[in-house]
Amino acid sequence: MASQEVLREEPSRASLINDPKVRSIFYQCLVVALLVSGVWWIVHNTIVNLTNLHIASGFAFLRGRAGFDISDTAIAYTSDSTYGRAIIVGLINTLIVAFVGIITATIIGFIVGIGRLSKNWLIQKICTVYVEVFRNIPPLLVIFFWYSGVLAVLPAPRDSINLPFSSFLNQRGFYFPRAIWGDGSWLILVGLLAGIAMAWFVAHKAHQRQMATGQQFPVFWTSLALIIGLPLLAYALSGFPLTFDFPKQSTFNLTGGFVVKPEFLSLYLALSFYTAAFIAEIVRAGIRGVARGQSEATAALGLRAGQALRLVVVPQAMRIVIPPLASQYLNLTKNSSLAIAIGYPDLTATTGTVLNQTGQAVECVVIMMVIYLAISLLTSLLMNWFNAKMALVER
């Protein structure tokens, strides 16, 4: 309590005009007022103009019947659904392609980034060429490369390429059997969850034991056995409830099974390969950023190269890598709007169709902007949290 009283200062005797506190509050208020009135002016002007031009406005159109179909839908959608639902379908498609794209780009990026620092001349050069090629080509060209250069030249449905496990590849997409979960298949999921939980527990215990006694335990193989073995056991116990729906040839196309369309595939591959080149450079920067003494110390301690990388170098590199990584993730998400060029129904494409069917340009553009902003803010929030978790804990 006493210390607080010491901190309390005498009130300033200068006039209000010269008081820096009052001044700063005044200027902040001024800026806020200008901003608010500017936004109000634009909004008001828009409404007045739309009325003058006899164009309908407002968001009520979102409840209207869409009337058009969408090729890739993750949730139930027919032409009877609403415009609002069509936009949500597009949003989910954007999120799906961004999510799998981010995972793949990260994996490829880490491999190539570490590969660029390899002592093996061939690996190093291959990775360098990869980075140089994909980093210097606009992403739209990469998408076109996959769509018209690779996937469009595949054979027609009648001459599909047969792959193992009853999968097929043709210019209409990649077909593989769809699993149909019968009665009692929930046991398999329980088995999987139990396996993951037990694997985590084993890893935790093994770590504790190693800390205490220095003895090691084959954590990796035990975990693998648990995570694969338990669901398999559950599968057998519940009487093999899993059946498959195989793709079959029909008049026009292959029907049945699960199909990944070429639009999705080319967008996903292009975004992954493009962003991976940037991530590779970030990873390389991170690893080069770890002091050389650290790797020398690991060598002196007798760790193998792989162990040194995994236990010492990468954890330190991660602290440098995460912030720029977050902006690459944001880039990938925003680049996914290039899907419009090849007809993948992402947020931009479906909202664009809604815009054109309803003519509500201002509303649709606002919806798109708000959604992309929300996705970006959410991603950076997540990455900031991850960054804080990985940051060096100073004692």
Partner 1 sequence: MTRSESAGRIFAGIVRICARRTLPILFAWLANFLTLLAAIQAFAAAGFQTLSNSVIFLDLTGIIAFDAIREWEAARRLRCGFLGMGRNGSCVHTGKVRVYLKNREKGLWVMKHIAIGILGAATLGLMASAASATTLDTVKAKGFIQCGVSTGLAGFSAPDDKGDWQGIDADFCRAVAAAVFGDGTKVKFTPLSAKERFTALQSGEVDILSRNTTWTINRDTALGLNFVGTTYYDGQGFMINAKKLPGVNSALQLSGAAVCVQSGTTTELNLADYFKANKMEYNPVVFEKLEEVNAAYDAGRCDVYTTDQSGLYGIRLTLGSPADHVVLPEIISKEPLGPAVRQGDDQWYHIVKWTYFALLDAEELGITKANVDEMKSSASPEIKRVLGQEADTKIGTDLGVSNDWVVNIVKAVGNYGEMFDRNVGSGSPLKIARGINALWTKGGLQYAPPIR
Q: Can you give the binding site for partner 1, defined by CB under 8 A?
A: 41-42, 45-46, 48-50, 52-56, 67-71, 78-79, 135-136, 138, 140-141, 144, 148, 152, 156, 171-172, 250-253, 255, 262, 281, 284-285, 288-292, 320, 338, 340-343, 345, 349, 352-353, 355-359, 361-362, 365
Two tokens at 189? 């999921």
Two tokens at 130? 């990869």
Closest separation in Å from C-beta 250 to partner 1: 6
Closest separation in Å from C-beta 176 to partner 1: 17
Closest separation in Å from C-beta 202 to partner 1: 35
CB nearer to partner 1: give 115 or 262: 262
Closest separation in Å from C-beta 391 to partner 1: 14
CB nearer to partner 1: give 230 or 338: 338
DSSP code of residue 257 = S
Two tokens at 263? 């639009």
DSSP code of residue 9 = P
Closest separation in Å from C-beta 140 to partner 1: 5
- SS3 assignment, position 389: helix
Closest separation in Å from C-beta 24 to partner 1: 29
Specify whether the CB–CB gap between 335 and 105 falls below 8 A. no
CB nearer to partner 1: give 188 or 342: 342
Could you identify the residue written with the tokens 């980093």? 135
Specify whether the CB–CB gap between 177 and 245 falls below 8 A. yes
The CA distance from 267 to 280, in Å, is 20
Q: Which residues contact 246 (CB under 8 A, 6 or more apart)?
A: 166, 177, 256, 257
Closest separation in Å from C-beta 329 to partner 1: 18
Two tokens at 19? 């008081």
Closest separation in Å from C-beta 197 to partner 1: 38
If we measure between CA atoms, which residue out of 332, 297, 333 comes closest to residue 316?
Answer: 297
Closest separation in Å from C-beta 106 to partner 1: 19
Specify whether the CB–CB gap between 387 and 326 falls below 8 A. yes
CB nearer to partner 1: give 101 or 262: 262
CB nearer to partner 1: give 66 or 383: 66
Closest separation in Å from C-beta 109 to partner 1: 14
CB nearer to partner 1: give 21 or 292: 292
CB nearer to partner 1: give 187 or 349: 349
The CA distance from 352 to 368, in Å, is 9
Q: What is the DSSP string of 232-254?
A: HHHHHHTT--EEEE--EE-SSSE
Specify whether the CB–CB gap between 160 and 246 falls below 8 A. no
The CA distance from 88 to 179, in Å, is 26
Per DSSP (E only), the strands in 191-288 are: 242-245, 248-249, 254-255, 258-260
The CA distance from 38 to 27, in Å, is 16
Could you identify the residue written with the tokens 């990468």? 314
CB nearer to partner 1: give 332 or 368: 368
CB nearer to partner 1: give 70 or 230: 70
DSSP code of residue 159 = G
CB nearer to partner 1: give 141 or 189: 141
The CA distance from 302 to 334, in Å, is 45
